[in-house]
Chain A
Amino acid sequence: MAKILIVSELNQSSLPKSVTIEILGKCKGHQIDVAFVGAGPSEAGSKMLAEYGAQNILVLKSDKLSSYSCEGYSAAVKEVAKSGGYHYIFTGATAAGKDYFPRLSAELQTGLASDVTNFTWEGDKFFGTRPFFAGKCLAKVEMQGSGPHLISIRPNALGMPTEKAAAAGAGKVSDTAVNVSEVKALVKSIIKAASSKVDLTEANVIVSGGRAMKNAENFKILDELADVIGATVGASRAAVDSGFAPHAMQVGQTGKTVSPSLYIACGISGSIQHLAGMRTSKVIVAVNTDPEAPIFTRADYGIVGDLFKIVPILTKEFKALLGK
């Protein structure tokens, strides 16, 4: 049995982000603790963690951890990594996880397998798979040397466990004081995005627009569809380079790599670099006037048609289906 720590983050409802539950499901049978930095989960959150097998829930506390910092988070996790004697430390490949886990790798002098999309265990040994070239190919990843080995997991890639742990963990919540020395790069202020939607990299449903959207104004028809089905709106590089959408919305090899349950591509031809960024989507719907567009080779459901006619009908039909 390997001793595992999962460092989690909270969503807006003070529940652990779903990637934590995904990881818990895949580590079934090992001894698992879950840590939060700064603030812990709600009672419902810790109950959920226990149901999926978490033993100890550690809330790492220091006066320097009231907001995110790469140095602070790294120092905090480093301290419990050492004292807890963990073999593996997991986290989600979120904005924070991607930022501070590499620093933790330097401080612990151990390896980090980043953005892993699947893994298996052979006894206590971890065998991972991760994409290269934005998913154009996959590679196996093995950790070398002594631990604790660090692993970040792409949200939505493992999938939620189909059942809870056979024996619930203790789920015992305790505050753990950690010693964080000076933090030099500290967030001074935050400019909140206009949209409160989940980030593309964590979204379960995505509606994306390409060059055929013609202008930024037309993206409102995608927003309307997205509002009905709870989707986040993305864009192709062609749309971003044409100034229709900001880079934060770009899906593809030089944008975000996404793996939602449902990806609806509207007026996107499907260049190699775009397909690389969204190919792990579970179900892909494509709308394009060109029946030969490469996107149709990846689509589960392809609609050859004009997006300006099809998208409003999609919105109407989804509204009817979902009773909105």
Chain B
Amino acid sequence: MKNIFVLVKQVPDTETKIIPKADGSYVEVTNIKWIMNPYDEFAVEQSLLIKTAFPECNVTVVRVGTVSDNECLRTAMAMGADDAILVESEGLIDSFTTAKAIKGAIEKSGRTPDLILSGKQAIDDDALQVPQLLAGLMNLPSVSVVVGFEVAGNVVKLKREVEGGSIEIYELNAPLVVACNKGLNTPRYASLPGIMKAKKKPLAQYKLSDVGVSASDTKVKYHGFQLPPEKPAGKKFDAMDDAKAGAIVKDVVGLLRNEAKVI
């Protein structure tokens, strides 16, 4: 286990109120609190746990996105990653373009990946595509929604969560791509010395054209961003008085059958 690459994305905080742009091209991104995509934190943490066991291992964080608000790469390096790559892109790009850019960036680093880690999904576009797409483009195997991770030499043992909470067990040789889920580990906080050190760690910066991406790589176009239709206000019943609760609940159950017709 020598070279680990971790894919990170910067996304609006989960409590952000999303406002579509007037022209519907995307959403307003000024005055937003940005965070590292929560699932990516598990990927960064996992890389650092492996680095503890294999000290010769180099951890590179890779991000495709705008140059401004580049905090999450520094955060990952403050947590303990060794270096970072930023591929600059403006506005919204699709998953295919992103995966191809990451592949180009990894190749440009000159290091052959033993392991590529990412979050299972980014909570902005919720596409759940990039890790498996990247694996396909690089002809590597991938395992997604991973909640258990063990490394023994070159062999990686993984637990993948599927429908209804069942777990699939995988055991395979590196190199591979792993997309991490919540519950895999507990991400650490960056320490103050870590934050100071991170400022001096190398950050390579490329344009999309430097990593072999062109406009023809766009396979999916998103537009017409709008808020979902608001539901009309529903019915509200006060059942704090125990004496009335029985009758009210009976009424609601009746409404579910006769008015809403869902039961």
User: Do A283 and B223 touch across chains, with their CB atoms under 8 A apart?
Assistant: no
B220 within 8 A of A: yes
- Given known A-B contacts A132-B225, A189-B169, A318-B263, A114 and B141 have beta carbons under 8 A apart: no
- A-binding segment of B66-74, B76-84, B91-99, B201-209: B91-99
Q: Across the interface, name the chain B residue whose C-beta is closest to A191.
A: B167
Decide if A66 is an interface residue (CB 8 Å cutoff).
Answer: no
Known: A105-B136, A199-B163, A253-B123. A301 touches B256 (CB 8 A): yes
Q: Which stretch (A27-35, A46-54, A161-169, A305-313) binds chain B?
A: A305-313
For A318, the chain B residues whose CB sits under 8 A away are: 253, 263
Chain A interface residue count, CB cutoff 8 Å, equals 100
A199 touches B164 (CB 8 A): yes
> Which of B133, B167, B255 touches A105 (beta carbons < 8 Å)?
B133
Cβ contacts under 8 Å, A85 to chain B: none
Let me know if B236 is at the binding interface, CB within 8 A.
Answer: yes
Please state if A185 and B126 are interface contacts (CB–CB under 8 Å): no
Closest chain A residue to B159, Cβ basis: A191
The reply to whether A133 and B129 form a contact with Cβ atoms under 8 Å apart is no
CA distance A187 to B246 in the complex (A): 50
> Out of A136, A196, A283, which one reaches B18, CB within 8 Å?
A136
Q: Are A137 and B27 in contact (CB under 8 A)?
A: yes
Binds B, one of A36-44, A57-65, A215-223, A284-292: A284-292
Q: Does the CB pair B239–A139 fall under 8 Å?
A: no
Chain B contact residues, majority secondary structure: mixed
For residue B167, give the distance in angstroms from its CB to the closest CB of chain A.
Answer: 4
A100 and B128 CA atoms in complex are apart in Å by: 10
Q: How far is the CA of A198 from the CA of B12 in the complex (A)?
A: 31
A144 to B97, CA, bound (A): 12
Residues A304 and B262 in contact, CB atoms below 8 Å apart? no
Could you say which of B137, B169, B240, B253 contacts A289, with CB atoms under 8 Å apart? B240
**A302 and B96 form a contact (CB under 8 A):** no
- Bound CA span A46–B232, Å: 41
Knowing A70-B141, A298-B231, the reply to whether A262 touches B262 (Cβ < 8 A) is: yes
B190 CB–A CB distance under 8 Å: no
Q: Give A247 to B183 CA distance when docked, in angstroms.
A: 7
Residue pair B249, A314 in contact (C-beta under 8 Å)? yes
A309 and B245 form a contact (CB under 8 A) = yes
CB A189 to nearest CB in B, in angstroms, measures 5
| B223 near A140: Cβ-Cβ < 8 Å | yes
- Distance A279 CA – B38 CA, assembled complex (angstroms): 21
Q: Which B198-232 residues have C-beta < 8 A from chain A? A: 216, 218-228, 231
CB distance from B211 to the nearest CB of A (A): 16
CB closest chain-B residue, reference A279: B228
Q: Quote the shortest CB–CB distance from A191 to chain B (angstroms).
A: 4
A residues bordering B, Cβ < 8 Å? 68, 70-71, 74, 94-96, 98-100, 102-107, 110-115, 131-145, 183-199, 201-202, 205, 229, 232, 246-250, 253-255, 257, 261-262, 271-273, 279-280, 282-285, 289, 291, 296-306, 309-310, 313-314, 317-318, 321-322
List 4 A-B pairs, minimum CB-CB distance, nearest first. A111-B219, A106-B136, A305-B239, A140-B224
Q: List 8 A-B contacts (CB under 8 A).
A: A68-B168, A140-B222, A183-B141, A185-B143, A202-B163, A254-B38, A303-B252, A304-B237
Q: Interface residues, chain B, CB within 8 Å of chain A?
A: 12, 14-18, 20, 27, 38-39, 94-96, 99, 123-137, 141-145, 147, 159, 161-173, 176, 181-183, 216, 218-228, 231, 233-240, 242, 245-246, 248-250, 252-257, 260, 262-263
- Known pairs A114-B95, A143-B220, A300-B231 / 10 extra A-B pairs, C-beta < 8 Å: A111-B94, A113-B220, A190-B168, A199-B163, A271-B15, A289-B240, A298-B231, A303-B248, A304-B236, A322-B263
